[in-house]
Amino acid sequence: MKQYPVQFQSISSGETLSYRKCGQGEKNLVLLHGNMSSSVHYQILMEQLEQDFTIYAIDLRGFGDSSYQKPFDSLLELADDIKEFLRLQDISKPVLMGWSTGGGVAMEIAADLGSEIRGIILLSSVGIHGYTMYRKAADGSPIMGDYLVNKDEIAADPIQVAPALRAYEANDREYFRYLWNLVIYHKNQPPAEDYELYLDAILKQRNLVDVDYSLVHFNVTDSPNGVEPGSARGRKITCPITLIHGEEDMVVPVEEARKTKAFFGEQAHLHVLAGLTHSIITDDLSALAELVRAHA
């Protein structure tokens, strides 16, 4: 995997965003990573596309080498960071590509920037109603309809969150290897050397509860999701939308992509890739690169 040097941009909130940049293409492509990841995870795609675009892969607040001066409560706050980054870097008419959580951030940015954004690509993205978390029964199964709402409840979740928080505290890379092999790399794993770099990046995250809380409260529709009534901000998105989703995604089921497509109607184009998982970049890099070229 080609290594791109880390650069830094200070923003007015006091945060400093780290990013990787490559290419000299006329079109700008901005890459936003997901939860438990960073811009490092995008480097193999950057290498494929650097002849086609000028690419910026940014570490969101509290991820990778970006700072984490202030906790946050919404993906909109992360979007505000990126909007300022775009302005300070003078990045005109970008396509925003968001993987998983990054897709939610891309939607929030597009809702505010309108025609300043050329399009958004939602890669295995969180759905328009956010990511629901339920209280767990004694056997670990979710209690449907009993939502986790506040940060203390989320942090105490015995299945999804508390074990990860303990692993972060212990710098336990084997826990995250086990977790990613279980639900993300369950069909294909990256090369061993790359995997170690990904684990290094995962262990830099400092904001897990903030992110999970933000996903629970994310809802850009005009209908309730059980926790939030809906901001209707999705109706403010005017740019073209491309959805790319693996048919066997265990993190964000493909049905979420279909709901997003239905919400946006003809404005959105959905590509469901048979046999692929939440990490399409690992499963079929060339297919992903071709779709990005076609839609960015």
CATH number reported for the structural domain that contains residue 133 in this entry: 3.40.50.1820
Hey, what are 145's tokens?
A: 């309809």
Confidence of residue 61 (pLDDT cuts 50, 70, 90): very high
Task: Give the residue among 273, 267, 278 at the shortest CA–CA distance from 35.
Answer: 278
Mean pLDDT for the stretch of residues 55-81: 98
Confidence class for position 29, pLDDT limits 50, 70, 90: very high
Query: 119 is in which domain, residue-wise?
Result: 6-295
Question: Could you read off the pLDDT of 159-205 as tens digits, one per residue?
Answer: 999 999 999 999 999 999 999 999 999 999 999 999 999 999 999 99
The vertex-184 CA angle with 107 and 98, nearest 5°, equals 15
pLDDT, mean of residues 88-94: 98
Length of the chain: 296
Residue 1 lies in a domain: no
pTM: 0.98
Query: What percent of the chain is predicted at pLDDT more than 90?
Result: 100
Per-residue model confidence (pLDDT) at position 201:
98
Rg of the chain over Cα atoms, rounded to whole angstroms, equals 18
**Per-residue pLDDT, 63:** 98
* Residue entry with tokens 């999701």: 225
**Which residues touch 41 (CB under 8 Å, ≥6 apart)?**
33, 34, 99, 198, 201, 281
For position 158, what pLDDT does the model report?
Answer: 97
Which pLDDT belongs to residue 226? 95
CB count within 10 Å of CB 281 equals: 20
Query: In angstroms, rounded to a whole number, what is the distance separating the alpha carbons of residues 238 and 235?
Result: 8
Q: How many domains does the chain have?
A: 1
267 in a structural domain: yes
Quickly list DSSP for the chain.
Answer: -----EEEEE-TTS-EEEEEEE---SEEEEEE--TT--GGGGHHHHHHHTTTEEEEEEPPTTSTTS--SS--S-HHHHHHHHHHHHHHTT--SPEEEEETHHHHHHHHHHHHHGGG--EEEEESPPPTT----EEE-TTS-EEEEEE--SHHHHHT-TTTTHHHHHHHHHT-HHHHHHHHHHHTSSS----HHHHHHHHHHHTT---HHHHHHHHHT---SSS--SS-----GGGG--S-EEEEEETT-SSS-HHHHHHHHHHHGGGEEEEEETT--S-HHHH-HHHHHHHHHHH-
* Sign of CA pseudo-dihedral 43, 44, 49, 51: positive
The whole-chain average pLDDT of the chain stands at 98
CA atoms lying within 13 Å on the CB side of residue 77: 16
Is residue 227 very low, low, confident or very high in pLDDT (cuts 50, 70, 90)? very high
196 found inside a domain: yes
Structural domain contains residue 198:
yes
* Residue 228 placed within a domain: yes
Other beta carbons less than 10 A from residue 240's beta carbon: 17
